[in-house]
Each structure stands twice: as C-alpha cells, then as structure tokens.
Amino acid sequence: MTILIKNISLKNRIVDILIEGNIFKEIGDNINIKADKIIDGTNKAIIQPFYNMHTHSAMTLLRGYGDDMRLFQWLSEYIWPQEAKLTSEDIYNGTRLAILEMIRSGTVFFLDMYWYHKEIIRAAQDMKIRANIGISFIEERGKKEVEESIEFINQFEQSSELINISVAPHAIYTVGKDLYQELHKISKAKNLKFHTHLSETLKEVKDCKKANNGLTPVEFLNSIGVLDNNTIAAHCVHLTEKDAEILGSKGVTIVHNPCSNMKLASGFFNVPLIHKYDCRVCLGTDGVSSNNNLSMMEEMKFAALLAKVAYNDTSLLSANEIFAWATKYGAEAMNINSGKIKEGKLADCLIVDLNNERLIPNHNLISNWVYSADSRCIETVICNGDILMENRVIPNEDEIISKAKHFIR
Amino acid sequence: MTILIKNISLKNRIVDILIEGNIFKEIGDNINIKADKIIDGTNKAIIQPFYNMHTHSAMTLLRGYGDDMRLFQWLSEYIWPQEAKLTSEDIYNGTRLAILEMIRSGTVFFLDMYWYHKEIIRAAQDMKIRANIGISFIEERGKKEVEESIEFINQFEQSSELINISVAPHAIYTVGKDLYQELHKISKAKNLKFHTHLSETLKEVKDCKKANNGLTPVEFLNSIGVLDNNTIAAHCVHLTEKDAEILGSKGVTIVHNPCSNMKLASGFFNVPLIHKYDCRVCLGTDGVSSNNNLSMMEEMKFAALLAKVAYNDTSLLSANEIFAWATKYGAEAMNINSGKIKEGKLADCLIVDLNNERLIPNHNLISNWVYSADSRCIETVICNGDILMENRVIPNEDEIISKAKHFIR
C-alpha cells in the first residue's frame, strides 16, 4: 500500500509525502508517483501523533462513575466493587471504546496496565493501533494469578510489530521486594519493558520510609536493583533531589500524568527538579476514572500550565518541550522508530485542518496545538502506514459505541 | 418562530421542548404542535450553554503570538506592539473569529473588555450572540480617549436585548481613584455593570499596599466606594480573609479565569476562602493570548482540577458546582433570565450528541460534560430562540475563517 499526501504543510513548508508500506519513504517538493491512495493536503498540516505512555484503557467503562470524593471512599465504594464485576467481554468493549477515543484525539500508541490482558490485546489488534500491554501484578490477588501471569509472559511471542507486552508490577504497596526482583529478571530475560507506578502520593512515600529504614520509594526500588533504562515509572510526583538524581542517572523513563495527579490531589510534578537531573519524561493520561478522558491534547495543556503556576515561572515547560514529551520521547522510550515526520521513520502521523478556528491565526502551529486545539482539529490518523481514521470516520465506530453505551450498572 | 425538540434527554428524562419566540414555552411528555422547525432529539441531550464572564475577544488574532515568556517581555515585545497596529477592521474580524469559536464550544454570552467597542458590538450583532461590551478605560491612553468613551457610554441606548455595554476601568494600576469614582457614578446613573480586573498578581497587591497605606486592592476599591453587587471583578487570585469577606458581603461577582492564571503564573484561586465567605463566582476564559482559546469546557475542567490539587482536597469544586459557575451564575450575574432549561426562561441551550465517545458510558452527564467532553460533542447551539449553529454548521463560517486567517504580521 502506498499513500501520497500532496501539498501539505510540514513545519511551515509545503511538501508532498509518500508513505510506502509502513514507512515515510519520501518527503519532497513535487512527488509524482502513482500511489494507491492520494490525499489532498491543501490547507492541512501533518504532525506527529501522540504516544500515551500510561493508561488503564478499559476503565473508560467507569467514566464519571463517582467523582469529587475522597480517594479511599471513591476506590472502596465505587471503583473496586465495579471492577470486580467486569467480565472479559466488558474489558474488550471498554478497551475498544478507549482506542476509539484515543484515535479521535490523535493517539497511535498506548502503554497499558490492567487485567484481562488477552482482551486488551485482542481489542488493540482489531483496531490496528500500536500498544504495549502491561501484564499487571498485585500480590493480594493471589498466587494463582501471579503464576498465570508469569506463565503468560514466558509463553508470549510477539506476533505483530504493533503489539507487545511489558512486565507491570503495580506499585511498591501492592507488590513485595521478592516479586519485584523476580519480575525484573523476567523482563530482562524476555527483553520487555518494566512498567510500574512510583511515588504517586505522599502516603506512599511516608509508608515506604516507615517500612524501609527511611528509604523513599525511588531509593527502595533502586536498592533492590530494579531501576534501569528499561524501567517506566508512572507519576513520580513526590521526588527528593536524590530521587531525581537516581532516576536521571539510571535512565528511567518517568511518565507525567497531570490530570490524574490534579484530580486525585496527588500533588505537583516537579518540573524544575527533573530538568536539573536531566530525567527522561513522557506524558500519559492515566485511566479515565481519574481524568476523565484519554486526550493527550488536554494532557499537554494541563502539564504546561500546571508547571508554570506551580513553580511561578511562565517560561517553564514550553509548548515545544511538552509536545516532545507527548510524542517523540514516548516513541523513543518504547524503542518505536517513529515520533518524527522524517524519511525512513515509521509512518505515524496526523492530518490536521488548518481552517479550524482553534488553529487560526497560525502564528505558531505548535503553540496552537498545545494551548488551543481540540480533537475537532484532527481529520485523519495514520498509524504504521494504515489509515485508522479518514476524514473523521473510524470503521466500526457505531458498533463500538453501541456496545460500550450499555455498560450502566 | 417556533422550534419543537422531540424526545430529548433533559436531566435523564426524555421530554419534548417547545421554544416560542425567545423563550422555553413548554417542556412536557408529548407535545404535538405544528412548529416552524422540528429537531429530533433522539440520542441527544439538552443542556444549558456557557456564559463567558471575562474575555478580550478580539485578541484571538494574537493566538500563539509569543508564549512561554516572562510576563513583561511578552507584553512589551509581543502583545503591545501588535495591539498598537490593530485596525478597526482587524477588531471586527478578530471578534467574529472569537464568537465563532465560542459558539462552537457552546458559549452564548460573553462579557468583553477591549478597545474599538463599536467594532465588537457590530461583530456580536452580526452573529446574533448575547454580549456585554465593556467600554475600557486606561488613563495613560490619554484624556481624549477617556472623554470619548464616557461620551459613548452617556449616549448609549440599548437597541437589542442581546447586546449591552458595561463600564470597564481596566485595573487599579491603570486607572486612578478619581476616574474610578467618576466611572462608578456613571455606571449607577446608566444602570450598567461595572467590570474591572482585581488582585490578579502579587505585584499588583504589593504595589497597591505600598501606595495606599497598606490597603490591598480589594480594600482600596472598597475604601473609594466602588464595590457593590453591580461590580464584576475578574481574577481575584490574591485575596486575604478580609478581602474575601468584603467581596462576599458586598455581593461582588468574582470571575475565575483558571487557564490564564496558570499560564501567566499569576497564582492559585482560593476556592476554600471564597466558599467560606459565600462569594458569588462565575467563570471566564480571559483573552486568547493567555489561554489560548475561548473554551469554557476546558475552563471548567481546569478550574475543578486546579482547586483539588492546590488545596489537597479531591472533593473541592465538584462537577456540579463548576458547571453552575460556568452557566447559570453567569446569567444571574448579568441579569439575563436564562441559564436553566425551564419553562419561561429565555431559550438558550445546547444540543449534545450522547453517542459521542467522550460521553459514554453516561453514568453522570454533568461529570462527563465537565471532565471529559470537548467541542466535538456539541451539535446545535440556540441563543435567545435563534439557532446559531445547527448540526455543527455556522453560517458564514468560511468567510470568517478566511478573513481572520490572513492576520499574520
């Protein structure tokens, strides 16, 4: 399959772009090749899509189910009882709803962490999106589940370049030292990413210090040898200078989830500190229950504006920097050869309507994209050379909506 | 003109709604009347629209023109030099772009404060939106302009129920005591709202205390007698207990502008304090230069999430409360008999697509609306019984876009 995009704006230059198979084959001034599909790029821009680096996609089914409550009441009275009732079919339908929402808002990859991983993989495969499915571990769910999940990881063979798995111990308060170390070994042996929650709340930090001779969660995981450049740590809201130094020097990928950290009142992500220690940072939406959507567009604006007000610095976390966190740094962290519109890169891109009022005037597209746009600006989404949404149409949308709509308990 | 909306969801009940002229005439189970227009409400909800209580609409033309800079550099090198070059035609085109954006994101009223008020009034009239145009005063723009503006106010006769003006001294650092008092008198005599910026930045507070024997900006304006239930005070970020008590007891309407306060690093709006003193609060987007859009939908989410993280309380500023700030409290503050979908109220409403994935599942529409929706969810916008957008189409959209698009200096 070849796609030729004619006369499209790429970084303020009008170009033609040829996609051959799953790569950007040629970007030039006037490409005249017979392609299977031709897209007219007049009054449109091409831009790299989002890589959502931390979510729990099937939780879309719990959108708006209990909000504005104290954390423990919300979890114990609302979220956990509902989660306990979810069937594998619910997970499949919820994940497809999540993917639909992600495609509409320009996301072509998500790093997931939830249960019923087989259903999540099936949903991602059916919708042709890139995904890495974290195989989750919480010890109190029982030995049997832990063993089955380890077995699943050991048996897993990647069958598509789009879908992979990662090893995902939930957090230090749900997974003990021994299992963390065992899972880290497995991730090394299978060459899989190691994905965990880390330093999300003050309570986590306090409890950890109490239980581990004053070690912070970062220090604790470092002391047991599981932090390295394969590790993806979600949240990292409460970091000491020493924590940031460890995360920076070990090359850990930090995932910032501003909406969730704000909605759950977890705290302010320390942007000056992660700058100081040159930490690798990406962006994620977290699950819908604490957001309540999967829009990386909103997430960029929240991240940038929160940093400015929290640290009293209007120049902190510029549009260009947060755009990089949301796009190419995610692809880089996952070793996906994409995140840039460049010859030889995997063909992941968005086609954006430059006549949408949110992008007018076009003094600076990235500024408009980060601070002004919403999902209405996106016309077409291409992932790995496949068109996932064309002129705002996603195949099977009605069926996905209709299945998910009836999840009301 | 009569509009009959059939089978639409209103607060989880399916109803028919009859609009006659500019009011909701009847809301019932089965209305069978011959109407000029019939709208099928199946799988849709009707919801009250937004009242944007503080903006500088023509600044849409400066969207993305300079971001992420220290405030003074941004103003002096970017915003002011560009503003100085704006022509009255620019203001007309910029305001129409702003109104287009507001309609698309569900806003039917805006309270403005800018220059070239005649052009702003013309744009609002042409687009049939409700607007109150603040006639702005900054003393250093010269005596002549001040006199002309006072003359304009004195001559003004309201010619349409949709458009009114207000008296808008810019701020205590641009308008002196005498002019404040003179303008306040004029606003009383003409029965117009009195709209000003107040306590936006720490610098404003410090400078005011230094110049006025330790009085805060709120105390200062109170001491000169210009705060009452006719006053609309934008920002109010830096409030003492005494300030909040004054604003509450005087019945001043406070306008919260979370995106702008965050982007300009102005500070955290003190929600617990305004709750304690039972202050009247509404929501506004501020101008595009410090936002960078006019979406009240985003503004609601920013307000609610910022309050939670800033005051470490997940239950603070619930979806229902922020929705009221963004809708009916604005209408109330402006004495517009709308902001509720109720028989006898002015017919302002939105028709929303319940099959949009951001609103699925529909456990709680207001939660989905505040925390998840974006402008793609809105199908139809009705203001004062007139359809401003129908099935996502706004008359003259292409012409408005084309005029505004070419404002690149």
Residue-wise pLDDT tens digits, B265-324: 999 999 999 999 999 999 999 999 999 999 999 999 999 999 999 999 999 999 999 999
Interface ipTM > 0.95: yes
Report the percentage of chain A scoring pLDDT > 70: 100
A60 close to A98: Cβ distance less than 8 angstroms: yes
pLDDT at A186: 98
Phi, psi angles (nearest 5°) of residue A11: 50, 50
The answer to whether residue B156 sits within a structural domain is yes
**Cβ contacts from A onto B, under 8 A:** 217
Determine the longest span between alpha carbons in chain B, in angstroms. Answer: 68
- CA atoms of A15 and A11, how far apart (whole Å): 10
Q: How confident is the model at residue A409 (pLDDT cuts 50, 70, 90)?
A: low
Q: How far is A259 from chain B (nearest CA, A)?
A: 7
- CA atoms of A49 and A52, how far apart (whole Å): 10
Residue in B265, B318, B376 closest to A376 by CB: B376
The answer to whether residue B404 sits within a structural domain is no
Q: How far is B240 from chain A (nearest CA, A)?
A: 19
A97 close to A404: Cβ distance less than 8 angstroms: yes
Among residues A382, A370, A360, A329, which one has the least CA distance to residue A17? A382
Q: How confident is the model at residue A408 (pLDDT cuts 50, 70, 90)?
A: low
On whether both A27 and A69 belong to a single domain, the answer is no
pLDDT at A284: 98
The answer to whether residue A146 sits within a structural domain is yes
pLDDT digits (tens, 9 = 90+) for A211-259: 999 999 999 999 999 999 999 999 999 999 999 999 999 999 999 999 9
pLDDT digits (tens, 9 = 90+) for A34-49: 999 999 999 999 999 9
What is the chain A residue with the closest CA to B201? Answer: A312
Packing angle, helices A319-326 and A296-310, rounded to 10: 140
A226 close to A184: Cβ distance less than 8 angstroms: yes
Q: How confident is the model at residue A79 (pLDDT cuts 50, 70, 90)?
A: confident
Q: How far is CA B320 from the centre of its chain?
A: 18
Q: Is A211 on the interface with B (CB under 8 A)?
A: no
Chain A positions touching B375 (Cβ under 8 A) are 374, 376
3-state secondary structure string across chain A: CEEEEEEEEECCEEEEEEEECCEEEEEECCCCCCCCEEEECCCEEEECCEEEEEECHHHHHHCCCCCCCCHHHHHHHHHHHHHHHCCHHHHHHHHHHHHHHHHHCCEEEEEEEECCHHHHHHHHHHHCCEEEEEEEECHHHCHHHHHHHHHHHHHCCCCCCCEEEEEEECCCCCCCHHHHHHHHHHHHHCCCCEEEEECCCHHHHHHHHHHCCCCCHHHHHHHCCCCCCCEEEEECCCCCHHHHHHHHHHCCEEEECHHHHHHCCCCCCCHHHHHHCCCEEEECCCCHHHCCCCCHHHHHHHHHHHHHHHCCCCCCCCHHHHHHHHCHHHHHHCCCCCCCCCCCCECCEEEEECCCHHHCCCCCHHHHHHHCCCHHHEEEEEECCEEEEECCECCCHHHHHHHHHCCCC
The arithmetic mean of pLDDT across residues B103-123, rounded, is 96
The answer to whether residue A56 sits within a structural domain is yes
Sign of the Cα pseudo-torsion (B394, B400, B402, B405, in order): negative
Q: Test B63 with A261 for CB contact under 8 angstroms.
A: no
pLDDT digits (tens, 9 = 90+) for A273-282: 999 999 999 9
Q: How far is CA A256 from the centre of its chain?
A: 10
The answer to whether residue B309 sits within a structural domain is yes
pLDDT at A68: 87
Q: Test B292 with A372 for CB contact under 8 angstroms.
A: yes
Chain B positions touching A70 (Cβ under 8 A) are 314-315
Note which residues in 227-266 of chain B have CB less than 8 A from chain A.
Answer: 259, 261-266
Among residues B121, B377, B342, B190, which one has the least CA distance to residue A374? B377
The answer to whether residue B406 sits within a structural domain is no
A265 close to A292: Cβ distance less than 8 angstroms: no
Q: How far is A148 from chain B (nearest CA, A)?
A: 31
CA dihedral B16→B20→B26→B28, nearest 10 degrees, is -10
Q: Test B371 with A97 for CB contact under 8 angstroms.
A: no
A127 close to A97: Cβ distance less than 8 angstroms: no
The answer to whether residue B119 sits within a structural domain is yes
On whether both A309 and A191 belong to a single domain, the answer is yes
Whether residue B320 is preceded by a cis peptide bond, meaning omega within 30 degrees of 0, is: no
Q: Test B263 with A308 for CB contact under 8 angstroms.
A: yes
Question: Which pair of tokens denotes residue A362?
Answer: 């076009």
* Helix or strand holding residue B183 (H, E): helix B177-190
pLDDT at A406: 78
* Helix or strand holding residue B54 (H, E): strand B50-55
On whether both A31 and A95 belong to a single domain, the answer is no
pTM of the model: 0.98
The amino acid present at A342, given as its one-letter code, is K
β-bridge pairing B231-235 and B194-198: parallel
A283 close to A300: Cβ distance less than 8 angstroms: yes
pLDDT at B409: 55
Question: Which pair of tokens denotes residue A353?
Answer: 């309507």
pLDDT at A70: 78
* Helix or strand holding residue B110 (H, E): strand B107-114
* Helix or strand holding residue B120 (H, E): helix B117-127
The arithmetic mean of pLDDT across residues A1-30, rounded, is 97
Q: Is B401 on the interface with A (CB under 8 A)?
A: yes
The amino acid present at A148, given as its one-letter code, is E
For A151-180, b/e burial (b = at least 16 CB within 10 A) is eebeebeeeeebbbbbbbbbbbbbbeeebb
Residue in A288, A360, A400 closest to B405 by CB: A360
What CATH number has the domain bearing residue A30? 2.30.40.10
Residue in A101, A262, A314 closest to B305 by CB: A262
pLDDT at A274: 98
On whether both A121 and A185 belong to a single domain, the answer is yes
- CA atoms of B103 and B129, how far apart (whole Å): 8
CA distances from B173 to B105, B198, B208 (A): 33, 10, 8
On whether both A93 and A36 belong to a single domain, the answer is no
Question: Which pair of tokens denotes residue B407?
Answer: 């404002």
pLDDT digits (tens, 9 = 90+) for A314-337: 999 999 999 999 999 999 999 999
Q: How many CB atoms lie within 10 A of CB B408?
A: 10
pLDDT at B128: 97
Q: What's the N-to-C CA distance of chain A in angstroms?
A: 44
* Helix or strand holding residue B261 (H, E): helix B258-263
Average pLDDT taken over every residue of chain B: 96
Q: Is B78 on the interface with A (CB under 8 A)?
A: no
Q: Test B292 with A264 for CB contact under 8 angstroms.
A: no
Domain of A123?
50-333
Q: Which of A333, A361, A379 is the last residue of a domain?
A: A333
pLDDT above 60 for B264: yes
On whether both A141 and A196 belong to a single domain, the answer is yes
Q: Is B203 on the interface with A (CB under 8 A)?
A: no
* Helix or strand holding residue B93 (H, E): helix B88-104
Q: Which of A301, A333, A365 is the last residue of a domain?
A: A333
pLDDT digits (tens, 9 = 90+) for A113-165: 998 999 999 999 999 999 999 999 999 999 999 999 999 999 999 989 999 99
Give the number of domains in chain A.
2
Q: Test B292 with A371 for CB contact under 8 angstroms.
A: yes
Among residues B373, B69, B265, which one has the least CA distance to residue A305? B265
* Helix or strand holding residue B94 (H, E): helix B88-104
Q: How far is B297 from chain A (nearest CA, A)?
A: 11
Residue in B67, B308, B376 closest to A262 by CB: B308
Residue in B266, B293, B364 closest to A358 by CB: B293
- CA atoms of A388 and A142, how far apart (whole Å): 39
The arithmetic mean of pLDDT across residues B377-392, rounded, is 98
pLDDT at A60: 94
On whether both A307 and A385 belong to a single domain, the answer is no
On whether both A236 and A127 belong to a single domain, the answer is yes
What CATH number has the domain bearing residue B140? 3.20.20.140
Question: Which pair of tokens denotes residue B220?
Answer: 């200062």
B368 close to B358: Cβ distance less than 8 angstroms: yes
Q: Which of A307, A333, A359 is the last residue of a domain?
A: A333
A258 close to A303: Cβ distance less than 8 angstroms: yes
The answer to whether residue A341 sits within a structural domain is no
Average pLDDT taken over every residue of chain A: 96
Question: Which pair of tokens denotes residue A225?
Answer: 């040898």
Note which residues in 303-322 of chain A have CB less than 8 A from chain B.
Answer: 304-306, 308-309, 311-319
Strands of B180-225 (E only): list them: 194-198
Note which residues in 336-355 of chain B have CB less than 8 A from chain A.
Answer: 355
Helix, strand, coil share of chain B (percent; to 5):
40, 25, 35
pLDDT at B80: 85
Q: Test B309 with A267 for CB contact under 8 angstroms.
A: yes
